[in-house]
Amino acid sequence: MSSSFLTTEKSSFLFLSYKFEYKENGETHTYPFKTGRRFYIDPTECGNSARFANHSCEPNMIAKKWMVNNRKEGFKAIGFVANKDIRKGAELTINYGYNYDPETSQKCLRG
């Protein structure tokens, strides 16, 4: 489905389908990143090592969005940038936000 546009209804249907498929395969969470009004990146099955960054309410990295040259209008890439000094060997963390899926939504209780 690379480089194709989806309606809001179709994207909602696909998101629910993916969630069902992930649960059937033993996945407990989905990890879509909203990159604009209409685009999401789902690194669940492919991506680079940044997809293994863990969640923290007090993360040591933030997600930055960049426009990608020669892509359809609005398409962005995501990069993680340190927002504080990170000591060698420390776990790399970001705040997942949990605002995209009420089923996995949770309050931050600690870092």
Structure letter (DSSP) for residue 91: P
Q: Which residue has the higher pLDDT, 106 or 40?
A: 40
**The pTM of the whole model exceeds 0.85:** no
Residue 110 amino acid letter: R
pLDDT attached to residue 102:
56
DSSP 52: G
Phi, psi of 41 (to 5 degrees): -115, 130
Residue with tokens 């690194």: 43
pLDDT at 60: 95
Q: Find the range with the poorest average confidence among 2-11, 12-21, 31-40, 76-85.
A: 2-11
Residue 34 pLDDT more than 80? no
How distant is the alpha carbon of residue 63 from its chain centre?
9
